[in-house]
Amino acid sequence: MDLLQRGINAAQDVRVVGAVTTDLTREACRRHQLRGPEAVVLGRALTAAALLATLTKNDDERVLLQIRGTGPLGRILADAHGDGTVRGCFGERPAVLETFHAAAAGRSIAAWVGASGQMTVTRDLGLEKQYQGIVELQSGEIDADLERYLLESEQLPSILACEVLLDTHEQVYKAAGVLCQTFPGADAAVLDEPRNRLRSIEFPRFLMLDRSPEDLMGFALGGASFIASAGQALRFHCNCGPERAKSVVSALGADDIVKLADEQPQTEVRCSFCGETYVLTRDDLLALAEHLRRNRS
């Protein structure tokens, strides 16, 4: 089961979060039929969003991560909620990429994301206004560019490391991530050693075996003692459904919906986030058009 845990080091100057995201990453890739670099990139984005959502104390808070790089994968979306639910997708289906060999590719994903473009982080606190921050991509590495966002936009010195390991069939074997941040007033240099460990080749090697969030936190802190909170389950979940499908079709307007109903016996609406398809019959469309007209008058 995927799990996230928060912790505080013994010196109480570093906040650390560890997350195992293997199952939710596998589910997202299964739904979108992804493997190789596509699976690695989306898995890292999902893991990063899940870790960012821990900055809230409200289960209803939502963090939407949107990356528009110049690489072949185009727009990447990851949506995480404070209750541990996560979903994600590519804005458009990426073109078929070259054969990807996990053992030879190294850890960099910049070639697929692109080393220029924009990353947008939207925080929905359930209030009237959303908070949105934008940072220019400089490395094409999702976690490294998000580190810079956290420092520049939220004034939080941070380390963010997200990994997705593939098996010999280029499918998800392990996925996990760690977020470390200083507390107000702490020297940012306390993050130097955790950064060196999490950026080293030892981190993916460490993930080859089954690891818990506490194991991940311990690795980041170099074995130093820490206090961990109760774990929170993580899972892939999409809040789409038949009513949301109708809401999407409603944007056409009543007249166009009637035309659509006359053209075909049923209409399919596919959710980009999870790949689920919802079927609206001709009667469904006519009832929706009538509902829109009544509300308009």
Whole-angstrom distance, CA of residue 297 vs CA of residue 284 = 20
pLDDT at residue number 92 = 76
Q: Measured between alpha carbons, how far is residue 143 from residues 110, 130, 192, 296 in Å?
A: 11, 23, 16, 46
pLDDT in tens, 97-147: 554 444 334 578 998 899 899 999 998 876 667 788 899 999 999 999 999
pLDDT at residue number 249 = 86
The correct CATH number of 3-236 out of 3.55.30.10, 3.40.190.10, 3.90.480.10, 3.30.830.10 is 3.55.30.10
pLDDT in tens, 204-230: 999 999 999 999 999 999 988 999 988
Domains of the chain, residue spans: 3-236, 242-296
pLDDT at residue number 126 = 67
Say whether pLDDT at 96 is over 70. Answer: no
Q: Measured between alpha carbons, how far is residue 52 from residues 34, 62, 129, 239, 251 in Å?
A: 24, 10, 19, 19, 32
Tokens matching residue 130: 């959303």
Which stretch of DSSP H or E encloses residue 101? Answer: none
Contact assessment for residue 247 and residue 234, using Cβ atoms and an 8 Å cutoff: no
pLDDT at residue number 101 = 45
pLDDT at residue number 103 = 39
Whole-angstrom distance, CA of residue 216 vs CA of residue 231 = 13
Contact assessment for residue 197 and residue 5, using Cβ atoms and an 8 Å cutoff: no
Whole-angstrom distance, CA of residue 5 vs CA of residue 54 = 9
Count the neighbouring beta carbons within 10 Å of the beta carbon of residue 4: 24
Phi, psi of 201 (to 5 degrees): -70, -15
Bridge-based pairing of strands 62-69 and 117-124 is antiparallel
- Split at pLDDT 50, 70, 90, the class of 94 is low
- Split at pLDDT 50, 70, 90, the class of 154 is confident
Global pTM value: 0.89
Instruction: List helix spans (H) across the chain.
Output: 22-32, 36-52, 102-105, 110-113, 142-154, 192-199, 202-206, 213-220, 242-250, 254-263, 282-296
> At the topology level of CATH, where does 242-296 sit?
CBS domain Like (3.90.1280)
